[in-house]
């Protein structure tokens, strides 16, 4: 039987250094894989989704977004929102169009029936999958259906996430994914990315954490690995006599940059 090589999926880059995310070389992506971005609201889910789109633009990706388009009047037609177009403009290192001025990606206004809109053998990015509160545990079936339609393509799906270790839908979100990236608030101005489940890797990556800032809604800056503070063990506070005081080693963050 034919042995297919890994799929060369390009992960987002640090805008300042131009370097791909530090862990990307350690994760093996195969045709048909499903990558999940689970993130707290307003801390970088869409930033990552658009950066995956931009870095892989030469694959002619499919981008499905429930907030990227708006209906044109009373018609059944949709057009990109001003905010979406502004984000593309801010990603000025990406050539979004071909020589004829046509988009190198396909934008679809999909809000439901996600698997039915998957285009086989292409990179399909869905930002975001929104399920009613009483159907969150259906996410496993939604992911299974999406994966079944990918063929030799790749799926990148975005899910909302509250505080905690998993996206909405809990353990069921992990059933059919091959790579899990979780985003949380790190500080008032930075986000934290945690690598969750990874099915295949060349070096241990699960559990590693990274901090980064976001400029203009799309530019990932100061991307770096962080580790638990050895003084406070990630708590942000340390013992001082019979009381606790703010940890001065990590400035109450619980984490420090890995050296």
DSSP code string of 201-221: BSS--TT-EEEEEEETTTEEE
Residues 49 and 117 in one domain: yes
Number of separate helices (H) and strands (E) present in the chain = 4, 14
Alpha carbons 61 and 178: distance in angstroms, whole number: 19
One domain for residues 215 and 253 = no
Position 128 scores a pLDDT of 87
Query: Are both 33 and 132 inside the same structural domain?
Result: yes
User: Does a structural domain hold residue 2?
Assistant: no
Please state, in angstroms and rounded to a whole number, the distance separating the CA atoms of residues 161 and 98. 36
Domain check: are 136 and 235 in the same one? no
| pLDDT classification of 131: cutoffs 50, 70, 90 | confident
Query: What pLDDT band is residue 165 in, cutting at 50, 70 and 90?
Result: low
Return d(Cα 84, Cα 169) in angstroms, integer.
27
Gap between the Cα atoms of 83 and 127, Å rounded = 15
Q: pTM for this one?
A: 0.93
Q: How many domains does the chain have?
A: 2
Asked if 103 and 36 sit in the same domain, the reply is yes
Task: Give pLDDT tens digits for 224-250.
Answer: 999 999 999 999 999 988 999 999 999
Whether 162 and 238 share a structural domain: no
Q: Indicate which CATH number applies to the domain containing 64.
A: 3.40.50.300
What domain range is 183 assigned to?
24-226
Beta-carbon contacts of 50 under 8 Å, excluding residues fewer than 6 positions away, are 87, 88, 91, 127, 218
* pLDDT-above-70 percentage for the chain: 94
Pair (205, 249) in one structural domain: no
């Amino acid at each position: 039987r034919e042995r297919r090589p890994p799929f060369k999926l390009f992960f987002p880059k640090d805008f300042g250094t131009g370097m791909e995310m530090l862990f990307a070389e350690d994760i093996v992506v195969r045709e048909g894989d499903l990558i999940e971005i689970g993130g707290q609201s307003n801390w970088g889910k869409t930033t990552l989704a658009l950066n995956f789109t931009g870095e892989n633009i030469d694959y002619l990706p499919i981008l499905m977004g429930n907030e990227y388009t708006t209906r044109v009047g009373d018609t059944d037609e949709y057009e990109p929102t001003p905010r979406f177009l502004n984000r593309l403009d801010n990603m000025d290192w990406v050539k979004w169009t071909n020589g004829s001025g046509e988009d190198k990606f396909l934008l679809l206004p999909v809000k439901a029936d996600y698997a039915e809109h998957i285009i086989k053998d292409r990179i399909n990015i869905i930002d975001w999958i929104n399920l009613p509160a009483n159907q969150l545990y259906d996410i496993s079936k939604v992911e299974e259906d999406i994966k079944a339609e990918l063929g030799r393509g790749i799926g990148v799906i975005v899910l909302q996430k509250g505080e905690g270790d998993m996206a909405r839908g809990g353990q069921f979100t992990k059933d059919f994914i091959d790579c899990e990236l979780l985003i949380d608030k790190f500080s008032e101005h930075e986000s934290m990315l945690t690598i969750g489940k990874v099915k295949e890797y060349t070096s241990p990556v699960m559990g590693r954490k990274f901090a980064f800032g976001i400029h203009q809604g799309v530019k990932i800056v100061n991307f770096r690995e962080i580790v638990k503070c050895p003084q406070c063990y990630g708590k942000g506070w340390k013992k001082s006599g019979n009381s606790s005081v703010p940890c001065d080693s990590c400035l109450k963050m619980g984490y420090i940059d890995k050296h």
